[in-house]
Structure 1
Amino acid sequence: MTIIPLRDNVPTRRYPYVNKVLVAINLLVFLYEVVLGREAGLFIYRWGLVPARLWGAGGGLEMGALWALPGLPPAWLTLVTSMFLHAGWLHVGSNMLYLWIFGDNVEDRLGHLRYLVFYLLGGVGAGLLQSIFSAGASVPTIGASGAVAAVLGAYWLLFPWAKVSTLVPVFFFLTIAEIPAVVFLLLWFLIQLYNGALAITASPTLVGGVAWWAHIGGFVVGLLLVRWWGIRRQPPVWW
């Protein structure tokens, strides 16, 4: 099931500098990957999060040769760098769409600097949880979806009354529906949880190689950080 947000109805009081810069960095890094062409795979192995390398779990002769490359960054650093890498246009496009729609309001509530810290911590927490569930994997985990999931978790707590205009498939047609954020994001989280459970018990081909536990981990980190920092829900503003 695919649910595609188009916009929300929450106005912001501050210009979302940090959120727009994050979107721009992700797009620029992806364009750099496109320019690299065949070398992009090596670039992703170098800067992506490889769980086997993070936890020192070997990885075979081929991976051993890749890990011996000169200038290879420390494994812990890839918890950060991996969140700015993407595997294709759909991957980066969907992540940036969610970040564009929901990130500006979370930045508005947290403030610019704290939002940046929040985003990075969300991505790191998401990467750690995903790497725990795939500790022996030699395939890089990449993408901003873990950090974006943290943004969604914060939005769910801070703006549950918001309405999200959503593109919804109905049989063979697409329709636009306004869904309360608390429902939209809960549905999104349940989809991640279902697929995350499926990824543990079923063949990886059934879940498409998506880092579902990074999504779950990021969402939970977002919830916990908002609670820990004591950010209160903002009452609705009617225009």
Structure 2
Amino acid sequence: MFVPLHDENPLKAIRFPWVTVLLIAANVLVYFLEATRLDEVAIASFAIVPRELFDTSLLPVAVETAGLQVPERLTLLTYMFFHGDILHLAGNMLFLWVFGDNVEDAMGHFKFLIFYLACGVFAGLVHGWIDPTSEVPLIGASGAVAGVIAAYLVLHPRVRVWVLALKAIPLRISAAFALGFWILIQVVMVLLPQVGPVAWWAHIGGLVAGAVLVVVLRRPGVRLFDKGLGVGA
């Protein structure tokens, strides 16, 4: 598995990736509130629970007890700003920091915000469609970040990225290899028996949304697949 560190891909159309930075700040702030002000029951009220999402007549006793009644459809947005632990948060925000700025550059600030949220919503829906009777809460920005990863791969597969291989070995490899390997893992995992807390189908949903939406939302004139760049650009 590769941990991204830095990509060799300067911004072209924007001076600063304000939306990327603000999204990271929002996720960090929410996690701080999770850790200091909210208990597990309260956090779960902001999560996607497939059974409740597809049957809005239900209102869990736990939510009523906590005094929080977040509309289930709204959880399609709120869930992506909560995380299970600090490593969950750090991993998602690292990928967003390394790859989000260039996707924002290709779309513009407002379109990128819409793109990010749409990827997260679609990721949550796919997760729910796969097991609509599940009562397990889903939180995390992984689906939205998966959309960013797919968009980056469609835009810049030939750009070089510095990564840590096996969490220790620095390598300079193409984005196609680094991100393609990450995507391959997601596909393999959904084909295996579902074990553990990772919502692999949400990742797949985010990937599909990102790959499609980047084609629609990119700025006029932005090329796909690094067309026009030399080999090893």
Same fold (TM over 0.5): yes
| Equivalence map 1:18-167=2 (5 Å) | 18-36=19-37, 39-56=38-55, 64-69=60-65, 70-167=67-164
**Partners of 2:68 and 2:174 in 1: how far apart?**
48
Asked if structure 1 preserves the Cα contact closer than 8 Å seen for 2:56 and 2:72, the reply is: no
**Partners of 1:72 and 1:223 in 2: how far apart?**
34
Distance apart, 1:94 and its partner CA: 0.2
Per-residue CA distance 1:54-89 (angstroms, 9 max, x = gap)? 012999xxx831244544121110000000000000
Match of 1:8 in 2: 7
**Partners of 1:17 and 1:146 in 2: how far apart?**
21
Q: 1:203 to 1:82 in 2, by over 3 A?
A: closer
Per-residue CA distance 1:26-49 (angstroms, 9 max, x = gap)? 00000110102xx42022111111
3-state DSSP class of the match of 1:6? Answer: strand
Match of 1:210 in 2: 198
Match of 1:226 in 2: 214
Q: What is the CA RMSD across the aligned residues, in angstroms? A: 2.2
For 2:107, the aligned partner's letter is L
Per-residue CA distance 1:118-145 (angstroms, 9 max, x = gap)? 0000000001001111211111100001
Distance apart, 1:174 and its partner CA: 2.5
Match of 2:191 among 192, 197, 211: 197
Per-residue CA distance 1:151-202 (angstroms, 9 max, x = gap)? 0111001011111111112xxx83111111112111111100111121xxx2
3-state DSSP class of the match of 1:177? Answer: strand
Q: Which runs of 4+ in 1 moved over 6 A?
A: none
**Partners of 1:52 and 1:19 in 2: how far apart?**
32
Q: 1:27 to 1:236 in 2, by over 3 A?
A: farther
For 1:131, the aligned partner's letter is G
Aligned length: 224
**Partners of 1:225 and 1:64 in 2: how far apart?**
34
Q: Unaligned stretches of 5+ in structure 2?
A: none
**Partners of 2:141 and 2:191 in 1: how far apart?**
21
Asked if structure 2 preserves the Cα contact closer than 8 Å seen for 1:52 and 1:58, the reply is: no
Does 2:183 align with 1:182?
no
For 2:198, the aligned partner's letter is V
Asked if structure 1 preserves the Cα contact closer than 8 Å seen for 2:123 and 2:205, the reply is: yes
- Percent of residue pairs bearing the same amino acid type: 40
Which shifted more, 129-138 or 72-81?
Answer: 129-138
TM-score of the aligned structures, taking structure 2 as reference length: 0.89
Distance apart, 1:227 and its partner CA: 2.3
Bigger fraction of residues in helix: 1
3-state DSSP class of the match of 1:92? Answer: helix
3-state DSSP class of the match of 2:87? Answer: helix
TM-score of the aligned structures, taking structure 1 as reference length: 0.87
**Partners of 1:96 and 1:167 in 2: how far apart?**
16
**Partners of 1:42 and 1:117 in 2: how far apart?**
29
Asked if structure 1 preserves the Cα contact closer than 8 Å seen for 2:116 and 2:144, the reply is: yes
3-state DSSP class of the match of 1:216? Answer: helix
**Partners of 2:57 and 2:201 in 1: how far apart?**
22
Q: Unaligned stretches of 5+ in structure 1?
A: none
